[in-house]
Amino acid sequence: MLTKRIIPCLDIKDGRTVKGINFIDLRDAGDPVELAEIYAKSGADELVFLDISATEEKRKTLANLVRRVAEKVNIPFTVGGGISSVEDVDILLKNGADKVSVNSSAVKNPDLINKLAAKFGSQCITVAIDAKQINDEWMVHLVGGKVPTDLNLFQWAKEVENRGAGEILFTSMNNDGTKAGFANEALAVLSSTLNIPIIASGGAGNMQHFTDAFLEGKADAALAASVFHFKEIEIKDLKEELLRNGVEVRL
């Protein structure tokens, strides 16, 4: 059985790690290089580094910061934010990223997924999907959740898989930052209809929420930010609790 992954997420704005609630009300959470090094040493399986304002501000992800983070970690490391071309990905991988995450640019130009998968391999390509449940339907949103689309989460996720993405990072905007648990019903639908790994994001507040994401949502990995950044949950303690609950993880 494949082990489930625990992934701290570093949302970056102006060179600092930040965390908000429902994608707004951001507060400072520390230096991303220091946090990355701490997580790598404390048992995180991977890291995700998202320059959350890159798309909105029409600039590229901070490649030099990526390089500094990559120099400090020995675990897989995904980078996203403002990626819209093969050239962008090439720069990030050369600066130390193991994988890249595309979101808004993939919706606007779905062929980008095909091109990236063909050039770098599906294992390097994560497609992030931010979705909000509106009147019982999950709708995809862009630009850090600010721009609604008419895309259905599950239909878009299937298209993403068919185009060559290696995994999907699904963030529930309804749950993000609320610490009320992950969107397990939506996760379970994704997990049952797709053949690529699903990373759960949005809503982690306690250890039980992670257990539920794996056992009820059938997620392959669970991503969180504030509970790790502000030391509400230690990764080692979380993994021991998951093992007690029958979830296979790497200690």
Residue 136 CB contacts under 8 Å (≥ 6 apart), including other chains: none
Pairwise CA distance, residues 33 & 41, whole Å: 13
Residue 250 lies in a domain: no
Residue 168 lies in a domain: yes
Residue 116 lies in a domain: yes
Residue 62 lies in a domain: yes
Structural domain for 50, as ranges: 5-244
Residue 249 lies in a domain: no
Residue 251 lies in a domain: no
Q: How many domains does the chain have?
A: 1
Q: What is the pTM of this model?
A: 0.92
Which residues make beta-bridge pairs with 200? 170, 222
> Residue range 185-203: average pLDDT?
97
pLDDT given at position 23: 47
Residue 81 has pLDDT above 90, yes or no: no
Q: State the CATH number of the domain containing residue 115.
A: 3.20.20.70
> Could you give the percent of the chain with pLDDT greater than 70?
91
Structure-derived torsion over alpha carbons of residues 127, 130, 134, 136, reported in degrees to the nearest 10 = 50
Q: Is 87 exposed, middle or buried (0-12, 13-18, 19+ CB in 10 A)?
A: exposed
> Residue range 158-171: average pLDDT?
98
pLDDT given at position 69: 86
Question: What's the chain's average pLDDT?
Answer: 91
pLDDT digit string (tens) for 98-128? 999 999 999 999 999 999 999 999 999 999 9
> Residue range 67-89: average pLDDT?
91
Catalytic residues: 11, 130
pLDDT given at position 66: 86
pLDDT given at position 204: 96
